[in-house]
Chains A and B, each alone.
Chain A
């Protein structure tokens, strides 16, 4: 009896199954034919270029993601070299795929924060109680005494997609092990403190200050601010003092005795190393000048 029931059930089911299989086969055939007839020819090179890129979709190149950028490079090879995280290595790979010769674009660029003042190093006239954002704070002209230094509200931290930037004791600090050089932080800083620098060495020497005030005023507001004394420029030609501020020519920088001497003789110790294994910077020996306010 049970067997009869099973047969009856089977008789009822199989036509439906057959129709489904038939339909499936028919549509599969349609799709197969369509995929052959209407095929979009994608150059395998685009895929290869995409593989050569870091695939982190950071948007530094100005395109929505690495895939878009790969397509753009394929259409116009002049766009090679816009990928900062990939750097020279990625550019060379892409050039190889496209059979092109590219000039050496130099070492990878990494951000350097041009300020080294932690909370205790700088003078603050008044307590800021507004929106916790550097852009908002910067709209208030004298939110901290130094009009050039790091505000420490972390617009750059918010912009960093790789967790490579942190506010450490009131100062934006780059974690060079995590940094991909995507330039997002340098665009986010309202005071333009973060500059993309070609890292020819693992640790780059830098003048970590942007204060253009005269020495006396700088001293009054910050104990590690550049006072434009020019001692470094006397030691090494790579340093230049303009507008009361020393600047280092990063493109020509190679570690040597002269630059070391400039660093050691700097009275406010504003010349420091930044990089993956940068040593702890020295502090100036003098006490900060108390400012009565």
Chain B
């Protein structure tokens, strides 16, 4: 099966921004890096915040559980390093603000985790029961590593009300600049595929598709070779068209299965489970080798980075340290973004630690920012309709943005503001430079406040 024999699948709408992946595309994953201090946030997932299990001054081993919670939708948190707990203090989280974090000082002499665990022996799926897989995934604290951070155990566990039939593995990485998933697919192919098999078994899916964008032919080839050697087992690799936001789960389902996830719904409603490739590798590590999720690959990239590359870092490393490791930022740096340029969040506090969901740190220059056309140049909407053409969710973005701007939340709701996936395509194409996605995000916060009835 060659890459070209299949026609790349796609979804309606979307854009194709400059890929910019050449900065880090050939960068192997740098391992063995160990910061002097890590700040492990106690909420790195969607769901309940963890309670710290250790106290100030206690010694922790690498991989020791340091935070947990009884709630079903939550994931425990583990220490990535061996060291001493300096304090439990507030640290910045890129999205939710100041939240408690366990700050651990690394002890100088201790082993450094060198990349994903290698599996030498023959893999036998029958050794692992469904319960065992789910329990191991939960104990390892695995969450969706693509960005949302939903606890994976909740996703893969069989649910009689929403039975899952198809599994989709997301290897698209449609966001510009980022290459961490691509490198994982090249270097840790076996781990990913074992993870896919385990997740497939646990969720009871009969079929699994691995969607990879067709600008990564090497990854597709590599995955196919290893898949054939491991036994295909109803797993298929599907090249999908290089387009943003191909890696959005709703878009990927539309591309591969030609099915629409209901508005405001989630993929299990149509019997689909979507997992990221990095999550699959983490599942394999957790189930086979019993290793918790404490490290992840982060792409540090952008025109303003001296040595861009992919780094295997302990979760909790501050952005500051990460930038230092990459040779620091150049004079031209203008904005530090956690994530990619399309959906990432600009951060001002460089002590912000990385989390389980941080796939990239992008530092862009003023010229790049100018190309991203934002702010101070906003003009009136010319009703060209480009945002409608590119919206992957078939919404009317400007209508929603203007409704929010004029505080007409009922109008915004009637245009389905909640269905927006905040991909940023509309802001990208807008010739009037209206920050449409920003307004829609703001509108969603307004709606949440209205519901909460804050006194």
* Chain A residues near B (Cβ < 8 Å): 124-126, 129-131, 133, 135-136, 138-145, 147, 186-187, 190, 192, 212-214, 217, 293
**A141 touching B350 by the CB < 8 A rule?**
no
Q: Which of B97, B441, B446 contacts A141 (CB 8 A)?
A: B97
Residues of A close to B350: CB separation below 8 A: 125, 293
**Interface residue B352 (Cβ < 8 Å from any Cβ of A):** yes
**A143 touching B449 by the CB < 8 A rule?**
no
**B348 touching A214 by the CB < 8 A rule?**
no
Q: Quick one: CB contact mask for B365-380 with A, threshold 8 Å, 1 for yes?
A: 0000000001110000
Assuming A147-B98, A213-B90, is B442 touching A142 (CB within 8 A)?
no
Residues of A close to B438: CB separation below 8 A: 130-131, 136
Residues of B close to A214: CB separation below 8 A: 89-90
CA distance A129 to B445 in the complex (A): 19
**B93 touching A141 by the CB < 8 A rule?**
yes
* Chain B residues near A (Cβ < 8 Å): 89-90, 92-98, 345-350, 352, 374-376, 435, 438-439, 441-442, 445-446, 449, 454-455
**A145 touching B349 by the CB < 8 A rule?**
yes
- 30 A-B pairs with CB atoms under 8 Å apart are A125-B349, A126-B348, A130-B438, A131-B439, A131-B442, A135-B442, A136-B439, A136-B442, A136-B445, A139-B442, A140-B345, A140-B346, A140-B348, A141-B92, A141-B94, A141-B97, A141-B98, A141-B347, A141-B349, A142-B92, A142-B97, A142-B348, A142-B352, A147-B92, A147-B98, A190-B449, A192-B454, A213-B98, A217-B89, A293-B350
Residues of A close to B98: CB separation below 8 A: 141, 147, 213
Q: Which of A131, A192, A217 contacts B90 (CB 8 A)?
A: A217
Residues of B close to A142: CB separation below 8 A: 92, 97, 347-349, 352
Q: Which of A143, A212, A217 contacts B348 (CB 8 A)?
A: A143
**B90 touching A135 by the CB < 8 A rule?**
no
CA distance A133 to B89 in the complex (A): 29
CA distance A230 to B441 in the complex (A): 40
CA distance A293 to B92 in the complex (A): 15
Residues of A close to B89: CB separation below 8 A: 214, 217
Closest Cβ neighbor of A124 among chain B residues: B348
**A139 touching B441 by the CB < 8 A rule?**
yes
Interface centre among B348, B376, B449 (most CB of A within 10 A): B348
Measured CB to CB, the closest approach of chain A to B94, in angstroms, equals: 5
CA distance A133 to B375 in the complex (A): 13
Interface centre among A124, A147, A192, A214 (most CB of B within 10 A): A147
CA distance A141 to B89 in the complex (A): 16
CA distance A130 to B5 in the complex (A): 46
CA distance A265 to B376 in the complex (A): 45
Measured CB to CB, the closest approach of chain A to B455, in angstroms, equals: 8
Closest Cβ neighbor of B444 among chain A residues: A139
Q: For the A-B complex with A135-B442, A135-B449, A190-B445 known, give 5 more contacts whose Cβ atoms are closer than 8 Å.
A: A130-B375, A131-B439, A138-B445, A139-B441, A141-B92
Residues of A close to B435: CB separation below 8 A: 130-131
Assuming A130-B435, A139-B445, A213-B90, is B97 touching A147 (CB within 8 A)?
yes
Closest Cβ neighbor of A145 among chain B residues: B349
Closest Cβ neighbor of B375 among chain A residues: A129
Q: Which of A124, A129, A136 contacts B441 (CB 8 A)?
A: A136
Residues of A close to B439: CB separation below 8 A: 131, 136
Assuming A190-B449, A192-B454, A214-B89, is B345 touching A141 (CB within 8 A)?
yes
Residues of A close to B349: CB separation below 8 A: 125, 141-142, 145
Closest Cβ neighbor of B90 among chain A residues: A213
CA distance A138 to B97 in the complex (A): 9
**A135 touching B445 by the CB < 8 A rule?**
yes
> Which 6 A-B residue pairs are closest in the complex by CB-CB distance?
A126-B348, A125-B348, A142-B349, A136-B442, A129-B375, A147-B98
Residues of B close to A141: CB separation below 8 A: 92-98, 345, 347, 349, 352
CA distance A129 to B97 in the complex (A): 18
CA distance A125 to B335 in the complex (A): 12
Residues of B close to A139: CB separation below 8 A: 441-442, 445
